[in-house]
Amino acid sequence: MVEHDFILSFSDSGAVDAGSVKAAAATVAKGLVALYDGDSGGTLGKWPYPPYYWWESGAAWGALINYWYYTGDDTYNDITRTGLAAQISSTNDFMPKAETFNLGNDDQAFWAIAAMSAAEKGFPAPPSPYPGWLTIVENVFNDWVGRWATESCNGGLKWQIFSENSGYDYKNSISNGGFFQIAARLAQATHNQTYVDWANKIWDWTTSVGLIDDSYNVYDGTDDTDNCTSLNHLQWTYNVGMWLYGAAVLQNYTNGAETWADRTTGLLDSTSLFTSPFSNATDVLYETACEKLGNCNTDQLSIDGCARQFHFECKYNSFNNIIHLFDHNVVTVVTPEFDIVLYNKCDDHKLNFICTDINTHVINHASRFLIIDAINSDIYLNLGISNHKRSAVYWIGGPNSRHTFDSS
């Protein structure tokens, strides 16, 4: 096990030097790819299972797309393009038969989110014979429309896709949130009102059963065998992050509509739950449901990396009337103290990303597999730098705005 201390340079104002953040990103990206064995005896497109589930591979490819976009380093573009495309499946919707035993709507969502990021950021198109990234995401969206389960609870997306899988009777926030976020981002990319209508429908259903309450707490799920009358009140970082990103996109798309501005700020405020584990907490993102007890599993160790990336993207998908809130809230929620922890001591052994503070107490290892997204967000959010002049989508307002979109 080899431990590296990342040496960061600070300005007089305490800001982290851009070069040292990029160097840290490069180190973590290298370690993330070192975990991948898909081109050396494993399954193409997948990190090894166990311990990594299929959804985590989709999220990891999305993280590497963001890494390329925010740093300009294309070292991993070929492996990312090949790996992401390898799981598209013959139906062009990320439904590989090999994953039938555990394929949930939430799993499919993380692959769709990676493809959506590829489309938005102008990442190289998938190889022939696959269609463009946007078409693939639209196919996933259409899958979900067909799975909208009105036979119980008046709607909602089930967690599992296949009835033989455990969890088929569970309707959860992450599956419906993935549907919601993709609907919002497709609306922004295509200006098709159908996507807006579905985003509203998903939001209305989710709040009607109480998975998002009046205080914008996002609860894990509900049992559709009792008509969704009882809730699992566990809360996870990526649930609120998933919904927050979608709400921010719609707030942008509707030119700052009060409804979506209120929902975005409400979800943003609710994230404070995940930054206060102890009386001396310094705004380090953590999982309330497992981390204090030290019993997070592999999935749970990954999800706040996703949450942080969703938080970060919100700032750049929010209309001007609330964007200032992200300067004060999101940066505090997901950045500076965590990053000092992250950069001061990181173990880059390929199987064991664990970051500790200077006293060697484990502060936050929940992002060990997707921690690259934490650094990606700093590169753009805190440092304001990017090696790309524009996204394939201009995030500058609603359906009457002039957008450019590359659908390849």
Per-residue pLDDT tens over the stretch 237-256: 889 989 999 999 999 899 88
pLDDT in tens, 267-291: 988 988 887 666 665 556 678 888 7
Q: Which of 118-122, 144-148, 199-203, 363-367 has the lowest mean pLDDT?
A: 363-367
**Structure token pair of residue 29:** 């990206």
Distance CA 275, CA 285 (A): 5
Question: Is the confidence at residue 362, as pLDDT, over 80?
Answer: no
Most confident of 73-77, 303-307, 394-398: 73-77
Q: What is the pLDDT of residue 277?
A: 66
Q: Name the pLDDT band for 30 (thresholds 50, 70, 90).
A: confident
Give the sign of the dihedral formed by CA 46, CA 51, CA 52, CA 54: positive
Q: Give the chain's mean pLDDT.
A: 78
Confidence of residue 403 (pLDDT cuts 50, 70, 90): very low
Q: Residue 80 has what pLDDT?
A: 98
pLDDT at 373: 61
Instruction: Give the ranges where 209-286 is alpha helix by DSSP (H).
Output: 237-253, 258-270
pLDDT confidence band for 23 (50 / 70 / 90): confident
The reported pLDDT for the residue numbered 243 is: 95
Question: Binning pLDDT at 50, 70 and 90, where does residue 376 land?
Answer: low
Domain ranges in the chain are 3-382
- Residues 240 and 307 sit within 8 Å (Cβ to Cβ): yes
Asked if residue 346 lies in contact with residue 353, where contact means CB atoms within 8 angstroms, the answer is yes
- 303 or 186, which is more confident: 186
Contact 306, 352 (CB under 8 A): no
Query: Is the Cβ–Cβ distance between 122 and 392 less than 8 Å?
Result: yes
Average pLDDT over residues 205-219: 98
What percent of the chain lies above the pLDDT cut of 90? 51
Per-residue pLDDT tens for 94-108? Answer: 999 999 998 999 999
Task: Say how far apart CA 173 and CA 179 lie, in whole Å.
Answer: 10
Predicted TM-score (pTM) of the model is 0.84
Place of tokens 């949450």: 307
CA distances from 236 to 107, 222, 271, 324 (A): 16, 15, 10, 25
Domain 3-382: which CATH number of 3.10.520.10, 1.50.10.20, 2.40.50.140, 1.20.120.550: 1.50.10.20
Letter for the amino acid at 177?
A: G
Q: Give the model's pLDDT for residue 269.
A: 87
Give the closest residue to 392 by CA, choosing from 113, 188, 86: 188
